[in-house]
Chain A
Amino acid sequence: MKKKSSSQIKLTLLFIALIFLIIISLLLGNYPISIKELRIIFIQFLSGSRADLNTNPAWSVLYYIRLPRILTVVLVGAALSLSGSAYQNIFRNPLVSPDILGVSAGAGLGVALGLLYTEGSILYVYFSAFLLGIVAVFLTYFLSKVSGRNNSMFMVLAGIVVASLANALISLLKYTADPLEKLPGIVFYLMGGFSRVSWREFYLILPIIILGGFVLIFLRWQLNIFSLGEKQAASLGVDTEKIKIIVIIFSTMMVSAATAAAGQVSWIGLVVPHIARFIVGTKHKFLLPASALIGAFLLLLMDNLARTISGAEIPISIITALIGAPFFAYLLISGRESGWS
């Protein structure tokens, strides 16, 4: 009873910290906005005159550049971490993540295909990202399954196989792409980053990530049982295969949406679930929201660096890898990634 309330307090604190960071992030940026301008915006906002607001350059920077970007970063960070937690749980493997299972690479291949072979609608890009993300994760899963060796290491290896295959196909597409217009577009898109994000991306991924998040949180009890092992779960009357497939589909949907919006963002999906387990333990009722909040918080922190450290943009993956990789090494060495029996 006591432990439960302490986890609730931790979640509340995480939530407050995220809101606080969102507000700070709104005030950070290369377009200088003074306190005075903020006050003017606030007054114009309260008086409800959109006409005045829309001619105010500080407002259009805040509303059309910073806010959609910040909210999209929050969604992507939450989505990657949530699906990372879910994957780690259903595969009972602390080493898996969207990047390691090949989902990110598969979705990236989908994005490249979408960019190459469809003109116009961004929806095709999202759809083909999802389709190939799903194909990649099932390929990894079946590869490790047909091997008969149901251990964590083999799944990681299978993921490496699938990711390499997908990345090879991406390279092939790049090789055949029109070098002047299509190729730089694909390279740029897949490198990962939030500089191109606008409200359109936010509204596209919002329903997908809310749906995926709700499905996972709805299945929190079944996910807890999974931690005991599939046999025990089956003996408790859980249809493990069905749950597994549902979790895979919805997690992959979230990762694909995140990849289609922001390219391949590495490390977040692997590291954040470990931090979350360290803070709130392994109960999914707390673990899933904690992962989402921590993922959103960390990615937002990193994207703030990416957009303000210099006048130009620094690719987000450089920052996630520079911070994520040493941190994961620390977790491995200190044995803090436990929480796994």
Chain B
Amino acid sequence: MLKGISKHNNLSNYMSFFIILAISLIIIFSFTFSAAAQREFTDMMGRKVMLPAQVERLVTTYKPATQFVLSLQAGERLKAVPIQTENQKLFMKLNPELAELPQVGSRRNGVNIETIASVNPDLVILYPHRDAIDTAEMLEKQGIQSIIINPESLDKIRETTNLLAAILGQEEQGEKIIEAYDRIETLTAKSSQIKAEQKKQVYFANSELGSTVGADMMQTSLIENAGAVNPAAALKSGFLSISAERLIEWNPDLIVVSQFFNEDLEELSAEPRFQALKAFKNSAIYRFPSQLEPWDFPSPSSYIAQLWLAVKTYPEKYEDLDYKAEVERFYESLYNISFSDLGGEFE
């Protein structure tokens, strides 16, 4: 009788042991499962962010952010966009419905937190400046996660594509874009082997001929990667203005101007004071393409800007390169549609 009881007890002990084991296993599994549903990322300001496995509702707060999202084929996930999105030709060709979305603000004027909250996003992609960290904190109070991107050089553009591809679960498309970047770097490798004394001088003009950029700027690194020298980089970092005299003293081989250059290039090249300049004499003045989207702004297209600039600076080195085909191919990789099909024009 006693034995029977103890046996029975043993049996029930085993039973309860297994039941407890099973329950704890279920609990452990469900914990790991929910932990897997939350993924940790570090954004480009070093902030740690926990994001759900599926990031379906997106808000972008400045133009480059929108462009990265579109290149990752996630345009339909956008629920709110920065101001003036409807004026971006490329965006309107790719996802015309973006024009109808609520607009939350801009890098320049800040964002309206309420407008962001009203579309209930999984993730907000913020612009890189000090204020963005405060904005991120305010969004967090609303239970909204955000990341800050900082695509201000070719390497950081690469990093941005990788980070966003992982967050959006678009790794395959991300790979495709990175391959397109790699291809451009391979093509432009010729320029980087140029000896220092043979490097050409390339001057970049922003909105006017006298406004340019110095060290630590995207455009300067494009010039340097193209195997040339930006004379303004020796003066200071950031934006700066120079006199016509200084420009004549530098006498650059090439002048490239921003897509948003305001002066008339024809008129300028007719001005007597510039006739001595090599760039004017050789008609080596070019506007950054394209009318579809400005390549001289930080975005995935900065890579294609790199190719354009290298070809313009050392045309003799790229004689065997089919530049137009490369541009078409680049857009094809990013947007599944070629440059000319998007309405892009070669000059």
Contact = CB atoms under 8 A, between A and B. Distances in A.
A175 B241 CA distance: 10
A57 B108 contact: no
A277 interface: no
A178 B128 contact: no
Contact of B113 (A65, A188, A193): A65
Contacts of B102: 30, 311
B104 interface: yes
Contact of A57 (B83, B131, B143): B143
A181 B130 contact: yes
A188 B114 contact: no
Contacts of B83: 310-312
Nearest to B217: A179
A50 to B, nearest CB: 14
B238 A188 contact: no
A205 to B, nearest CB: 16
A284 interface: no
B142 A195 contact: no
A31 B129 contact: no
B216 interface: yes
B130 A182 contact: yes
A313 B138 contact: no
| Interface-centre pick from A30, A182, A187, A307 (highest chain B CB count, 10 A) | A30
A15 to B, nearest CB: 27
Interface size class of B (residues with CB under 8 A): 35 or more
A189 interface: yes
A176 B237 CA distance: 8
A178 B239 CA distance: 9
Contact of A65 (B103, B130, B138, B150): B138
Contact of B131 (A60, A189, A307, A310): A189
A246 to B, nearest CB: 34
B141 interface: yes
A188 B141 CA distance: 22
Contacts of A281: none
B178 to A, nearest CB: 23
Given A313-B112, A315-B109, A188 B131 contact: yes
Contacts of B239: 179
B69 to A, nearest CB: 18
Interface string B237-262: 11110000000000000000000000
B129 A181 contact: yes
A61 B105 contact: no
B108 A188 contact: yes
A183 interface: yes
Contacts of A176: 236
A184 B108 contact: yes
Interface in B103-126: 103-115, 117-118, 120
Contacts of B135: 196
B111 A313 contact: yes
Interface in B122-169: 127-131, 134-135, 137-138, 141-143, 150, 152
B141 A311 contact: no
B327 interface: no
Interface size class of A (residues with CB under 8 A): 35 or more
Nearest to B135: A196
Contacts of B216: 178-180
B156 to A, nearest CB: 10
A61 B114 contact: yes
Contacts of B104: 311-312
B309 interface: no
B143 A185 contact: no
B6 to A, nearest CB: 49
Interface string A53-75: 00001001100111000000000
Nearest to A63: B141
Interface string A276-319: 00000000000000000000000000000001001111110000
B80 interface: yes
B111 A312 contact: yes
B63 to A, nearest CB: 13
Given A60-B141, A193-B110, A313-B109, A181 B237 contact: no
Contact of B130 (A30, A31, A115): A115
B110 A188 contact: yes
A177 interface: yes
Nearest to A65: B113
Contacts of B106: 312
A89 interface: no
B150 to A, nearest CB: 8
B118 A30 contact: yes
A185 B217 contact: no
A197 to B, nearest CB: 9
Contact of B237 (A179, A195, A196): A179
B44 to A, nearest CB: 11
B237 A307 contact: no
A187 B112 CA distance: 18
B112 A195 contact: yes
A311 B59 CA distance: 13
A187 B131 CA distance: 11
B112 A312 contact: yes
B238 to A, nearest CB: 3
Nearest to B241: A175
Interface in A19-77: 29-32, 57, 60-61, 64-66
A259 interface: no
B230 to A, nearest CB: 15
A335 to B, nearest CB: 38
Contacts of B108: 184, 187-188
20 contacts: A30-B115, A30-B118, A31-B115, A31-B118, A60-B117, A60-B141, A61-B117, A64-B138, A177-B238, A184-B127, A184-B129, A185-B129, A188-B108, A188-B129, A191-B109, A195-B109, A311-B102, A311-B112, A312-B83, A312-B111
Give 10 closest A-B pairs by Cβ, nearest first. Answer: A179-B238, A185-B130, A312-B105, A31-B114, A30-B115, A184-B129, A30-B114, A31-B118, A64-B141, A195-B110
Given A31-B117, A187-B108, 11 more contacts: A30-B112, A60-B142, A65-B117, A188-B129, A195-B105, A195-B112, A196-B131, A311-B103, A312-B82, A312-B111, A312-B115
